[in-house]
Amino acid sequence: MSFWPRHALHAATVLVLLVSLCSGCQALLTAAYLIAPEDTPAEFTGLRGKHVAVVCKPIVELEFSDVGSARELATIVGGLLKQNVRKSRVIDEQEVARWVDENAWVDFPTLGKALDADLVVAIDLEAFHMHEGSTLYRGKATARVRVFDIQEKKVVFTKRLDDFAFPADSAIPTSDRSEAQFRAMFLQVLGGRIARSFHAYDSRTSFAEDNLTF
């Protein structure tokens, strides 16, 4: 049995993943980061106790070049919501993806109604890049996040992430790790930023991510 709060365990998991993929980060893995109280409240608490679908729709240009990243991002966000939002029931991403593949895309509310969801967390992925020049990795993304209430037929929460960058103030030589490794790290951090809109968290988790050195 674990005696750590669930959010603290998630913070530990994210930081361990990041440390495993970078150097110079060990100082960030201190007890203060792992067991500190959740001092930042959720921006939107309406997912609690709800049947929730998470879907990420890339812009047309990305549908042909990087649709896999959009689905991975939805999977990560859905998993984090399942872990951290009490009593929420998150629809499996494979079920969401199957509906999208089998039906002509209409809109997020139609998808939510078809999957019997109370709410849809809709992520419009407007930009997604992983390279800075030909020899460096630096992830950049722009996304609009909305929550659709299916029964009320309205948007109940909206947020933008404009020009989100990881690492925040540096870049990683492509010789240091594979593209797949960097993609996994970038999507985990981006997914965490989106999911934190819906649950309380320790603000120092964001500080740790922003101040990683490579």
- Domain extent listing, the chain: 43-196
Dist. CA 166–CA 23, nearest whole Å: 15
Q: What are phi and psi of 172, to 5 degrees?
A: -115, 125
First to last CA, the chain: 35
The CATH number that domain 43-196 falls under is 3.40.50.10610
The pTM of this model reads 0.81
Question: How far, in whole angstroms, is CA 29 from its chain's centroid?
Answer: 21
pLDDT tens, N- to C-terminus, the chain (214 residues): 444 445 544 554 554 455 455 544 444 444 444 555 677 999 999 999 999 999 999 887 666 566 689 999 999 999 999 999 999 999 999 999 999 989 977 799 999 999 999 999 999 999 999 999 999 999 999 999 999 999 999 999 999 999 999 998 899 999 999 999 999 999 999 999 999 999 999 887 766 666 555 5
Q: Strand, coil or helix: what is 95?
A: helix
CA distance readout (Å), 88 to 34, 45, 92, 189: 24, 11, 12, 22
